[in-house]
Structure 1
Amino acid sequence: MPYLDLASHRLHYRIDGDSAGKPWLMFCNSLGTDLSMWDRQASALSQTYRVLRYDRRGHGLSSVPPAPYALSDLGHDVLALLDALNIDRAHFCGLSIGGLTGQWLAVHAGDRLGKVVLCATAARIGTRESWDSRMEAVRKDGLGPLVAATAERWFSPAFIAGNPDTVGNVLDRFAATLPEGYAGCCAALADSDLRGKLHRVANPVLAISGEDDPVCPPSDLEAIAAAVERGQHVSLAGRHIFNIESSTPFDAVLSDFLGPCSSNLSAGFYPPGHFRGA
């Protein structure tokens, strides 16, 4: 398994697809998950793209530097990984805190990104009080007591009932996340507010929401699409982790957005209204 060793921690990453001149596509996971949340997308898209996934600091097989973390720390981890792999530019797809990381990158290092897909996220997620409370609870009791409520936020009741193994695998990985790493990322969320900076984003952006997401509702993604220079919004069935719950339509929308001029990471976009729900 490949790792990138940095000054304070190491990042676990994975590459799918061969290098025959294909453009890079990078995925960034949500809070309390690991790179396996993108298994379906890596399988579906690795024939067209060279797919890069990684475990955020404090998650999965990456190490856990001392908390707290800042959003800039998470963004610089991405840049360090791109630098280490000699990737000048990559398309980027992130969900929840992964989408917030993508927003930070688009604001501060947009030249390193091609098209940007922001899923189930917001320019400001939650409140300082809510994240402080979450950090306190996790440091006291671990993530186990949060599993049931997390399942309800992440997946619809019908999907939970019909896909127990899939949901169980995601929740097992959530429960196994170390409290220090989880709390460190909660601190990053508590301090992050990009609402006044998104107008600086020039990359083509697709904001995707879950129709029934209680964490980041469609209005949050609509606001992102409206704030950036070239933004579109589409909503898919499901709650917060809709790339798993609605994987087939998600893969189709992602491929459709990335497809035109995909070998030119800075070119190509869609006219207003191209996507349903835009």
Structure 2
Amino acid sequence: MSTFTTADGCTLDYHIAGSSSAERTLVLLHGWSQSRAMFDRVIPLLARHYRVVSYDQRGHGESGHPTHGARIARLARDLDELLTHLHIERADFAGHSMGASVLWSYLDLYGSAKVSSLIIIDQPSACTVLPWLNKAEAVEVGAILDFPGAEAFCKGLVGSDAAAVRRDFLVSMLSKQISDEDLAWLYQENLELEGGFGSRLLLDHIMQDWRDVLPRIDVPTLVMAGEVSHVNPASQKWSAERIPGAQLRIFTAEEGGSHFPFFEGPEPFATALRSFLDAQPAPRARARAVS
């Protein structure tokens, strides 16, 4: 276990796998109410080829659980501080679900100087039907919540039925073939996120509109989607079409194509990610080794 402390006093737990001499460094960002441990099935497949950095975002997993900083922008700053701490000058970044939002925020705030390539895993560019979205636009971008639904969800996370709300939401993101053992483990990881902090962070996350960021992404990008995910794959195709030169990979149900393709189908996921990364030019700067 390795940790560092952010400028506002939050301890972040991170893990590095693979060789420090690898040509590429890959940074993995998990989603809301998840943890870096959810990448553990795919990291060994990737660490054979890359230096892989994963970490628990604040409030999640083994990282600190502060009462402040429940905002996507703060999580983006956490990422920037982690890169500085690890002396990472250039890397590839893969963000799952909310982790993709953190990457969009990072690009919006800090630019792409440290970004060799971007992998977006199953995240709509807008989650909620915001006032400036008409019904057709909401459908095409993948907005699945209206304002009453967003309010009810956030309240449910701190209500008397919070445990059931969280479990039902988790189940909705997984394939029907998930084993009871895997579901139980995923649920325990989910519960590491305290409900009050999680509710505030979720609301900030689902009220963002990243559509204006997509056309300004100036690095090679792969958008990944799941055929049986609760996120409509058509929305991921829409995102890919608005990111200059982006590629799209939709995992089938047989490949583990739920919202968690790296967990339910680690081998197809690793193969697709490697195919994308290995086709990219060598990074302009290599990360210095930090453990």
TM-score range, shorter chain: 0.7 to 0.9
1:153 aligns with 2:172: yes
Matches within 5 A, 1:41-190: 41-67=42-68, 69-108=70-109, 109-126=111-128, 127=145, 128-141=147-160, 143-157=162-176, 159-160=177-178, 163-190=179-206
* Partner-residue secondary structure (3-state), 2:223: strand
Q: Which amino acid aligns with 2:156?
A: A
Equivalence for 1:232: 247
**1:87: how far off?**
0.3
Write the distance in 2 (CA, Å) between the matches of 1:41 and 1:193. Answer: 30
1:228-267 equivalence runs, <5 A: 228-237=243-252, 238-261=257-280, 263-264=282-283
The answer for unaligned runs of 5 or more in structure 2 is 129-144, 286-291
TM superposition shift of 1:200: 0.8
CA distance in 1, matches of 2:192, 2:22: 37
RMSD over aligned CA atoms reads 2.0
Unaligned runs of 5+ in 1: 267-278
Going by fraction, where is helix more abundant, 1 or 2?
Answer: 1
Q: Percent identity?
A: 21
Contact 1:154 1:213 in 2 (8 A): yes
**Deviation string, structure 1 residues 81-117 (Cα, Å, up to 9, x no partner):** 0011110111011111011112222344212111111
Secondary structure of 1:222 counterpart: helix
Find the counterpart in structure 1 of residue 236 from structure 2.
221
Q: Could you say which residue in structure 1 is the equivalent of 2:11?
A: 10
Choose 138-147 or 111-120, whichever is displaced more.
138-147
Alpha-carbon distance in 2 for matches of 1:68, 1:134:
20
Tell me if structure 2 keeps the 8 A contact 1:131–1:186.
Answer: no
CA separation of 1:68/1:245 partners in 2, compared to 1, >3 Å: closer, same or farther? same
1:30-66 deviation digits (Å, cap 9, x = unpaired): 1111101111221111121111001111100111222
Q: How many residues align structurally?
A: 262
The 1:24–1:68 alpha-carbon spacing in structure 2 relative to 1, beyond 3 Å, is closer
TM-score (norm 1): 0.87
Please report how far the alpha carbon of residue 265 of structure 1 lies from its aligned counterpart in structure 2 after TM superposition.
5.9
Preserved contact between residue 206 and residue 257 of structure 1 (Cα < 8 Å): yes
- Distance in structure 1 (CA, Å) of the matches to 2:260 and 2:126: 18
Q: Find the counterpart in structure 2 of residue 271 from structure 1.
A: none
Change beyond 3 A, Cα 1:69–1:48: same
Higher relative contact order (CA 8 A, sep 6+): 2
**Once the 2 structures are TM-superposed, how far is the Cα of residue 144 of structure 1 from its aligned partner?**
1.5
**Which deviates more from structure 2 when the two are superposed, residues 110-119 or residues 187-196?**
187-196
- 1:112-159, CA deviations, whole angstroms, 9 ceiling, x for partnerless residues? 1111110110111234543332221112237411244124312111x2
TM-score, length-scaled by structure 2: 0.83
